Structure 1
């Protein structure tokens, strides 16, 4: 018997809206497509909200690699690497690491992360990309990670360890409101997130001045 855990994880869906008004006469006075601007702005805002939902679930992780008294050092990275291995988190190409921009700078000072002799020329983090593969993991910076006092919460996790539920993708709708002589540009979605397996998430607490 494998004794596979079949317990369900509840993921509640929440509805979010991001809208703004576009005055009909104001629209006549501008050369750019303001409707497109508002649609994009709303979609980006909801995309950021999606990130926030997932990050809030990652924040529930209690698997700490060291503490928040140092930055993102090579020793901290290797400890997290060992923790993932010891709990048998699959090294199957579905591991991800998300860090703050200060921690991304810390990684730049680690030779094994930023030197072509170790990662090859295709994975150098100096080429204008904001993500790269290292240690079988896709590393990426994010400005929206939780910061408590002077400690930034960063994470190394397997894709299946955190779930994202989508009742409705981001959609846009433009309606004319005669009583306001304006267009209402609305963006909306219904989504949620849930921590599925806490052992698949390692929290890297990093000092950030």
Structure 2
């Protein structure tokens, strides 16, 4: 018996289920960053284009070029796998949808890894991007209104576009802190449609021009959690191979090896496009 004897419909259905679960429930951050697909080679360069300055000129004289800075950020690709054995006879003894459960498990594992790559890129920012101060701005405080406003002030000072593509990431405890901010939850400030209790539940909402996400994978060191506010264009996500699956029969094991895989990477393009919100958690 060979892999070719496995029904083609089964393989196609399993792969489609993995991709659907990956897009539907797994990666939360993939759509919040700048993405490039179809990458070839071990790395990819993301261009970084500087700003120019308009100038005056004497009548009939040549127009001087602005010569904005051009640079690039290299993002390296890594391979990731999620695999499991499925015993042929075990499939006959269970009353659970084994294929669907495995498809979800593989997709969720790859999705968490995708988000971990993006968070690692955000963590690569220097301490200069930290919101610092005393009182409500201190690392010893939670996620406060003052801390958020200071972070937005830092972005505005760098002319980061306020165009709807700003994203805020906070932990579950940070989200609880934000629910204590009147302007974040009171319909008199934000209207009924933007309340965090409706629509997509307690997970996501727009406030102060930022799409806020409650995310569990933020790094923590000595009870200091690191959250972020960033612009989509400031972070790069490179995809060489999107989520794919492979199913192979192993006669010596009387089992199928079911594997999902991807090749991706992430990097920080522009530090000026993000700030870090440090807060203490119990």
TM-score, with normalisation over the residues of structure 1? 0.97
Residue in structure 2 matched with residue 6 of structure 1 by the alignment: 70
The equivalent position to 2:91 in structure 1, one of 22, 27, 33, is: 27
Q: Distance in 2 between matches of 1:150 and 1:188?
A: 34
Aligned partner of residue 91 in structure 1, secondary structure: coil
Q: Which runs of 4+ in 1 moved over 4 A?
A: none
> How many pairs were matched up?
209
Shift of residue 129, structure 1, vs aligned partner: 4.3
Query: How far did residue 110 of structure 1 move?
Result: 0.1
* Residue 2 to residue 158, structure 1, CA distance change in 2 (3 Å): farther
Following the alignment from structure 2 to structure 1, what is the Cα–Cα distance between the partners of residues 101 and 67?
Answer: 52
| CA deviation string 1:12-68 (max 9, x = no partner) | 000000101111110001122212211210111010001000100101123011242
Cα RMSD for the two superposed structures: 1.0
- Please tell me whether residue 105 in structure 1 is matched to residue 176 in structure 2: yes
Alignment match, 1:134: 207
Counterpart for residue 193 of structure 2: 122
Matched position secondary structure for 1:48: helix
SS at 2:216 equivalent: coil
Structure 1 Cα separation of the partners of residues 237 and 178 of structure 2: 28
- Structure 1's unaligned 5+ residue stretches are none
Aligned partner of 1:172 in structure 2 is 245
Q: 2:131 aligns with which of 51, 58, 65?
A: 65
2:166 counterpart residue number: 95
Q: Kindly provide the CA deviation profile for residues 163-191 of structure 1, in whole angstroms up to 9, marking residues without a partner as x.
A: 00000111122211111001111010000
Partner of 1:50, secondary structure, is: helix
Q: 1:49 aligns with which of 113, 116, 126?
A: 113
Name the structure 2 match of 1:186: 259
Residue 61 of structure 2 is matched in structure 1 by: none
Q: Which of these two proteins has the greater Rg computed from alpha carbons?
A: 2
Structure 2, unaligned stretches of length 5 or more? 1-64, 133-137
Question: Residue 11 of structure 2 aligns with which residue?
Answer: none
**SS at 1:7 equivalent:** strand
Residue 39 (structure 1) aligns with:
103
Q: What is aligned with 2:274?
A: 201
**1:39·1:172 contact (CA, 8 Å) conserved in 2?**
no
